[in-house]
Amino acid sequence: MTEMRNAIEEYLTVRRALGFKLHEDGRLLNGFANFLEKKRASFITRDLALQWATQPMKCQPARWTKRLNVLRQFAEYRSAADIRTEVPPIGLLPHRYHRTAPYMYSADEISSLIESAKQLPSPLGLRAETYSTFFGLLAVTGMRHSEARRLEREDVDLIEGILTVRQSKFGKSRLVPLHTSTHDVLRRYATLRDRIIRKPKSPSFFLSERGTGLNPWTVYSTFDKLKRQIGLRCPQGRRGPRIHDLRHRFATRTLLVLYRSGQDVERHIAALATYLGHLDIGSTYWYLSAVPELLCLISERLEGKQEVTP
């Protein structure tokens, strides 16, 4: 089995040299190696690939497809060295990912979330300010929480009020201009942070009270705690509000404002896609069908155009 693990490491090294990060792929393939060891198998077969891909029972079938696609690419590579390798055919698990309908936070819920964060136990006086500022930034910019968490000091221009998001999802970087009010809040936070943490252990903009960057799991657990405190719930049978839904709310609210004000959405949506860091404009158009109010506004506008058509 050492041979299979060596092959996986070699495969990952070659592809990473081409610019692919493959963090999840590496984790999945090492998991597959563990699976083969338990099965006492030394090469990839179609049946073993299917068994492994569909192992997590409590997940969307699209997740199985993702796992199988990762393994298929490796199997194609491996087949050149081991002719016994069976490459799973395309379409073997033809499932597509279905996006979860976003939870639409109200303005009051956003305010309650931020106010609740300001009450977090904070021995040095920084934790509460860190999380209230962090969640507030997500709400008003639509940034991914991983992007905000990875911001470094040099990425936050406190003079011009511009954030630089580097190598985010899909390897894209972008500039995020800030509203004056957001700029002021970040400036106040930076002043407080530097007064409390004189010798930080990390270049991160958002710091814990230990002077380190924010741990993703601590961010999740803190959000869940605050969510329960303010009574955020979803209808029965649906997932509760997520951190990522703050991004969904920003995108949807922006589109609602454009439609309500009668502006040319087609002209502005490309700019919104760039601001959000979407890989393609199709990801931004998804929001048009995600919220009933947006669909109604679109329908009304289309009906209005049809009425004036000679």
Whether 249 is catalytic = no
Looking at 15, 174, 244, 268, which residue is catalytic?
244
Q: Which of 159, 216, 167 is nearest to 206 (CA)?
A: 216
Whether 23 is catalytic = no
Contact criterion met (CB below 8 Å) for 212 and 205: no
Looking at 66, 67, 145, 278, which residue is catalytic?
278
Whether 244 is catalytic = yes
Helix (H, G, I), strand (E, B) or coil at 102: coil
Cα dist from 206 to 147, 160, 171, whole Å: 11, 19, 22
What H or E segment, with its residue span, contains residue 108? helix 107-117
Q: How many residues does the chain have?
A: 310
What H or E segment, with its residue span, contains residue 187? helix 180-196
Whether 144 is catalytic = yes
Contact criterion met (CB below 8 Å) for 295 and 255: no
Contact criterion met (CB below 8 Å) for 100 and 93: no
Reported for 52-59, long-range contacts at CB under 8 A and 24+ positions apart, including other chains, are 53/88, 53/93, 54/93
Whether 285 is catalytic = no
Looking at 247, 248, 249, 259, which residue is catalytic?
247
What H or E segment, with its residue span, contains residue 189? helix 180-196
Looking at 72, 144, 248, 249, which residue is catalytic?
144
Phi, psi (rounded to 5 degrees) for 152: -105, 170
Identify the burial level of 174 via C-beta atoms within 10 angstroms of its C-beta, where 0-12 means exposed, 13-18 middle and 19 or more buried: middle
Whether 98 is catalytic = no
Pairing of strands 174-177, 156-157: unpaired
Starting at the edge strand found earlier in the chain, the sheet holding 162-165 runs 156-157, 162-165, 174-177
CA–CA dist 33, 27 (Å, integer): 10
What H or E segment, with its residue span, contains residue 175? strand 174-177
Looking at 118, 169, 188, 225, which residue is catalytic?
169
Catalytic residues, which ones? 144, 169, 244, 247, 278, 287
